[in-house]
Amino acid sequence: MSKNKAPGPDEITSDVFFRGGEAITTYLTKVYNKMLQTKEVPPSWNEANIIILFKKGDPGNIKTHRPISLIAHSYKLFMRLFQKRMEIVLGENQPRDQAGFRKKFSTTDHVYTLNQVIEKTNEHNLPLCVGFIDYEKTFYSVEHFSTTEALRKISINETYVQILENIYRQATARMHINNLVSEEVHINRGVRQGDSISPKLFTAAIEDTL
């Protein structure tokens, strides 16, 4: 967690966790352990404030902007722990050709492999067909059930899977634009932008689909 990060709906800033010392550590440990026992999460974990960040290009084009979910920092810390515990199992169940969001993997490996395939087929005068798939708005389109079912298939701890289900089943968000706030809306699909575990959920779902 970085300092000076914007708070989520609970309005608790990241500074609280940096300055809280042993008291905040003890408190969070109790909360997290209780959650692991009951599989219930704080209501603020279901909520998100969505802001829009300009990337580049035409400011008047909505496609040049990216939504970011501002979520509770206590949620982020828990998901970071979950991610660390999940990485080993997830890594063991993904093939080497899946380089997305993995340590010691890079897209340059894919580029090198593709170049080798092209060179060898040209060398031996063999036919070659290459397909490229551009997953547009990938994080927004992932179905919630597909992520949790994918995690179950690779034997991720059921407690964590049920906690994820409880979070996404009741997920809501409000848009914050130019000091205006929208009504609360229910989020039926997609993983949260700005959540450290979202890339892992996406790769688990896409690997299960393919």
pLDDT of residue 2: 66
Torsion angles phi and psi, residue 67, rounded to 5: -80, 140
- Regarding predicted confidence, which is higher, 94 or 117? 117
For residue 66, what are the β-bridge partners? 53
Task: For 20-68, give the secondary structure using H, E and C.
Answer: CHHHHHHHHHHHHHHHHHHCCCCHHHHEEEEEEEECCCCCCCHHHEEEE
Q: What element of type H or E holds 70?
A: strand 65-70
Model confidence, pTM: 0.77
Rounded percentage of the chain residues whose pLDDT exceeds 70: 96
Q: What element of type H or E holds 111?
A: helix 107-123
Domain boundaries, the chain: 14-95+132-209
pLDDT of residue 38: 93
For residue range 99-125, what is the model confidence (pLDDT) as tens digits? 677 777 778 888 888 999 999 999 999
